[in-house]
Structure 1
Amino acid sequence: MDTIRKTQSNGSAWGMLLLASVFEIGYALSVGGSQAFTVLSWSVAAVVFFLLTLYFLSAALQTIDVGIGYAVWAGIGSVGAAVFGSILLDQPLTLIQAFWLGVIIAGVVWLKLADSAKLRGQA
């Protein structure tokens, strides 16, 4: 029973970390669109996304190790900001940049897999 709760808690923590990452992407794009906080709507969105990302990140880090959680959060946020910045804000994204963003995603996936109970020998 305790293992089931721990697995559910770990799953919830990873869900919160994913939400924090999505809000981080929103924050980064909003800061970019705010033009140094001179556009009110983008600036308000940036503050809201910032508060949401901090809340969900701090909630996730109660269960996930800080180093792993922060690396995953930053990786997803970085890749998401680069990809959506290219799409929504017409920022350039070269093939070599896309390659290295893919490397970041591969690292994020491996970090998540390394946190699984099965790989840690606790199954």
Structure 2
Amino acid sequence: MSAINERNTDRGRAWIMLLLAGAFEIGYALSVGSSKAFTVLSWSITAVIFFLLTLYFLSVALRTIDVGIGYAVWAGIGAVGAAAFGSILLHQTLTAVQVFWLAVIIAGVVWLKLADSVTLRSEKSRA
């Protein structure tokens, strides 16, 4: 396997780890909300487990992905996911304005991923 293909594979794995970290961040946020300020033992334990998982997967992803990009994507996934699933599972209200700004966050996360793509990186290195 060539060095470029190996780097692309590593970057792909890092992005998968980052997506997993984002998913665990959503679980953490929802668990913390359900723990009632850590007074409900089962939800408190669940929150701690999700917290450890999100930190682990984020740290693995940040071995390859720049910390600024990785953290922004992780936080965006967590924020949008917590708002969406909080609305569905916890019956929290989402207004049209909130949905609009969550869509802006999603667009930002997508643009960050695109900016980290191999094509753009190779164009940048040629310039």
Q: TM-score, normalised by structure 2?
A: 0.95
Q: CA deviation at 1:25?
A: 0.1
Letter in 2 for 1:70: Y
Where does 1:1-123 land on structure 2 (aligned, <5 Å)? 1-120=2-121, 121=123
**Aligned residue-pair number:** 123
Letter in 2 for 1:12: R
Which whole-Å CA distance do the structure 2 matches of 1:102 and 1:7 have between them?
28
Secondary structure, counterpart of 2:74 in structure 1: helix
RMSD over aligned CA atoms reads 1.1
Which whole-Å CA distance do the structure 1 matches of 2:46 and 2:112 have between them?
30
Unpaired segments ≥5 residues, structure 1: none
Q: CA deviation at 1:65?
A: 0.1
Q: CA deviation at 1:13?
A: 0.2
Unpaired segments ≥5 residues, structure 2: none
- Alpha-carbon displacement from aligned partner over 1:59-78 (angstroms, at most 9, x marks no partner): 00000000000000000100
Which whole-Å CA distance do the structure 2 matches of 1:34 and 1:114 have between them?
37
Q: Which runs of 4+ in 1 moved over 3 A?
A: none
Which whole-Å CA distance do the structure 1 matches of 2:99 and 2:55 have between them?
27
Q: CA deviation at 1:104?
A: 0.2
Q: CA deviation at 1:92?
A: 1.0
Identity %: 72
- Alpha-carbon displacement from aligned partner over 1:98-119 (angstroms, at most 9, x marks no partner): 0000000000000000000101
Which whole-Å CA distance do the structure 1 matches of 2:118 and 2:39 have between them?
47
Q: TM-score, normalised by structure 1?
A: 0.98
- Alpha-carbon displacement from aligned partner over 1:9-56 (angstroms, at most 9, x marks no partner): 000000000000000000000000000001111101000000000000
Secondary structure, counterpart of 1:118 in structure 2: helix
Letter in 1 for 2:65: I
